[in-house]
Amino acid sequence: MDKLLMVFGIALILLLIDYYLFDSTKKIRRSWPEAIRKVTIILFWAISFIAIASLFGFNYAPNEGVMNGMRRFFLVFLFLNIFPKILALPFLMVDDIVRIIKWTNKVIHKSEEKHLEGKKIKRSEFLVKAAIIAGGVPLAIMSYGIVSGAYNYRIIRRKLVIPNLPKEFHGIKLAQISDIHAGSFFNKRAVAGGIEMLMGEKPDLIFFTGDLVNTQTDEVNKYFDIFNKVKAPLGTYSILGNHDYGDYRSWASADAKRKNLLDMIEAHKLLGWDLLLNENRTLELGGEKISIIGVENWGAGRFTKYGDIVKATQNINESSVKLLLSHDPSHWDAQIRPDYSDIDVMFAGHTHGFQFGVELGNFKWSPAQYAYKQWADLYQKGNQKLYVNRGFGFIGYPGRIGIAPEITVFELVNS
């Protein structure tokens, strides 16, 4: 009952905001042709009521099967409906504050300024137009990010210098993808195109650094025929991310959640990926060896910590090079650099580059940098390196603006 009252309260607030916006912009609409004005009014209120329906749908639709996908649609529609209006509101509110001040001043000086009596204090056409632009431009950009940015895969090439790399591994081509989030996809053909780009690079070795799904394992089922193509001669190695454990939905029982995790482990097997659950593997070429270490999700932040770097490095081959797969980049500063100086390179994902930002040449900016010190691309301290992949998929906002989905291709070299 408390939840229902809260949802009704939010719905009422949304309707009041829409009425305020509708009333505040009527002066601008009066100058439009009648046909456009009528269509605009119908669309405005249709979108408003669909947003209210989405609010109830998100809160009360079952979190499973087809309806789980619908819940994501409801959330996205709400976001696209509310966010631009939040940006527009301050301009209209400033306008109303100015009008109130003018009205108050008029009342106070009424006896002195008889010529002002009966005259209505008009809205500022400039501020109303500014409000429309402030809401309309972000809406257009976000819509473009959905239509064009979500699947605009790009290949980032990096030469990864590892001084102690055995000569047999010099020139090896290593590819990394991360954060697939299969439950978010709405264009299977585009996803297949991204994987074709990856495999077109003919990598010798592939790393997947976690978050195959959003909330439950069955989200990946209809993409098996795409992701089972992600194979390389020296193997495809994978780890789990924070979304792969089923922590972000309610389960009927602990057994149901446990089965979901077992299904996730089985999914990696069916894909032909070697899932490292706090484990390590030795890769040998021409008698030379390197070690691949994989930890379960572990980060310095609020996410549940499943990783165990001590266990992952047990009985490790004393090879000259150690490569670590760890989903959350905050693991690097929190544990790896201070305590495991023999790990040469850590490969991570998790941040998505916030799916929003600016990258021009060497200049990079994203809100992600305020949450993660290392949030995208290559970092080095001393002899240790960290690479943070921007992610193959997306979650929440179904698009990307300025931060493209990434396929990374490394050339391993010793000088």
Taking only the tens place, the pLDDT of each residue in 354-363 is 999 999 988 9
Task: Identify the pLDDT of residue 68.
Answer: 59
CA distance 282 to 345: 15
CA distance 100 to 118: 15
28 or 169, higher pLDDT: 169
Instruction: Give the model confidence (pLDDT) of 275-328 as tens digits.
Output: 999 999 999 999 999 999 999 999 998 889 999 999 999 999 777 899 999 999
Task: Identify the pLDDT of residue 299.
Answer: 93
Task: Identify the pLDDT of residue 72.
Answer: 65
- Least confident range from 62-71, 84-93, 119-128, 156-165: namely 62-71
Task: Identify the pLDDT of residue 28.
Answer: 79
68 or 261, higher pLDDT: 261
pLDDT band at 117 (very low <50, low <70, confident <90, very high): low
Give the mean model confidence (pLDDT) for residues 145-155.
91
Task: Identify the pLDDT of residue 115.
Answer: 52
89 or 369, higher pLDDT: 369
Task: Identify the pLDDT of residue 235.
Answer: 98
- Least confident range from 25-29, 40-44, 399-403: namely 25-29
Structure token digits, residue 5? 């009252």
Domains delineated in the chain: 2-148 (no CATH), 154-413 (3.60.21.10)
pTM of the model: 0.81
Give the mean model confidence (pLDDT) for residues 234-240.
98
